[in-house]
């Protein structure tokens, strides 16, 4: 249990029938009239739904213990992603639903943060940017600006993003894992 005065970003709360909600942002408000309250923006850990919720100041809320560990992605086993704990070398099988969009950027050997609650994997979190190589892309034609200077490219994971015309097959690029945006070339 924690008080609403103890809220901080990233804290996971157990609300409404045991659902897990992560605090995205919060603000303590002390109006001129009336009691103080805490305005929060909460994200459902499993569905990703974001809601605004207001609590009275000082109210007790139940917190959930979420174990976040850095694990290395080892390989795919059917529909499961197999991660290895770097400290204990235990292997953990994670289904595609828990991995979510991170599957578009996972390559063997990548390190990701795996969050668990009571033995159940909640989500897999990647760094904000990863380096991947371009597996396939059309050659860019100089003067072709009808598409805003970008072309589709397939990454080594099979995920397709838009890249500038000067990017060629085999190049290593930096990609934003939150938006699938091209961030730049990787200097080798």
Question: pLDDT per residue over 110-153, tens digit each?
Answer: 999 998 888 888 888 888 899 999 999 888 666 655 556 788 99
Instruction: For each of the domains in the chain, give its residue range(s) and CATH number, in order of start.
Output: 2-61 (2.30.30.30), 67-125 (2.40.50.140), 129-185 (2.40.50.140)
Quick one: tokens of 106? Answer: 């996972």
Determine the Cα–Cα distance for residues 61 and 47; give it in Å rounded to an integer: 21
pLDDT attached to residue 144: 57
Q: Look up tokens 């080594």; give the residue.
A: 156
Nearest CA among 82, 141, 90, 78 for reference residue 106: 82
pLDDT attached to residue 153: 92
pLDDT attached to residue 66: 84
Determine the Cα–Cα distance for residues 120 and 123; give it in Å rounded to an integer: 9
Q: What mean pLDDT, rounded, does the chain reach?
A: 86
Which residues share a beta bridge with 153?
137, 161
Instruction: Please check the confidence at residue 2 and state whether its pLDDT lies above 70.
Output: yes
Give me the percent of the chain exceeding a pLDDT of 90. Answer: 28
pLDDT attached to residue 148: 64
Three-state DSSP state, 11 = coil
Strands 129-137, 150-155: pairing kind? antiparallel
pLDDT attached to residue 145: 59
pLDDT attached to residue 72: 94
Determine the Cα–Cα distance for residues 85 and 65; give it in Å rounded to an integer: 19
Instruction: Please check the confidence at residue 41 and state whether its pLDDT lies above 90.
Output: yes
Determine the Cα–Cα distance for residues 97 and 81; give it in Å rounded to an integer: 10
Cβ(122)–Cβ(114) below 8 Å: no
Instruction: Please check the confidence at residue 86 and state whether its pLDDT lies above 70.
Output: yes
Q: Region 153-179: what's the mean pLDDT?
A: 90
Cβ(171)–Cβ(134) below 8 Å: yes
Q: Is the dihedral of CA 170, 172, 176, 182 positive or negative?
A: negative
Q: Is the pTM of this model over 0.95?
A: no
Q: Region 73-84: what's the mean pLDDT?
A: 91
Q: Region 171-186: what's the mean pLDDT?
A: 90
Give me the percent of the chain exceeding a pLDDT of 70. Answer: 95
Three-state DSSP state, 144 = coil
pLDDT attached to residue 143: 62
Cβ(47)–Cβ(66) below 8 Å: no
Determine the Cα–Cα distance for residues 47 and 158; give it in Å rounded to an integer: 25
């Amino acid at each position: 249990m924690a008080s609403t005065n103890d809220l901080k970003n990233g804290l996971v709360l157990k609300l409404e029938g045991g659902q897990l909600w992560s605090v995205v942002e919060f603000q303590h408000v002390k109006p001129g009239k009336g009691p103080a309250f805490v305005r929060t923006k909460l994200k459902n850990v499993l569905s990703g739904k974001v809601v605004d919720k207001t609590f009275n100041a000082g109210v007790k809320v139940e917190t959930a213990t979420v174990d976040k560990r850095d694990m290395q992605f080892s390989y795919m086993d059917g529909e499961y992603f197999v991660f290895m704990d770097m400290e204990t070398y235990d292997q953990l099988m994670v289904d595609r639903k828990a991995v979510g969009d991170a599957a578009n950027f996972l390559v063997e050997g990548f390190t990701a943060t795996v969050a668990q609650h009571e033995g159940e994997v909640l989500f897999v979190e990647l760094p904000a940017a990863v380096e991947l190589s371009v597996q396939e892309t059309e050659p860019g034609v100089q003067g072709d600006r009808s598409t805003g200077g970008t072309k589709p490219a397939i990454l080594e994971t099979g995920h397709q993003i838009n890249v500038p015309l000067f990017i060629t097959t085999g190049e290593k690029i930096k990609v934003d894992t939150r938006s699938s945006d091209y961030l730049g070339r990787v200097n080798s």
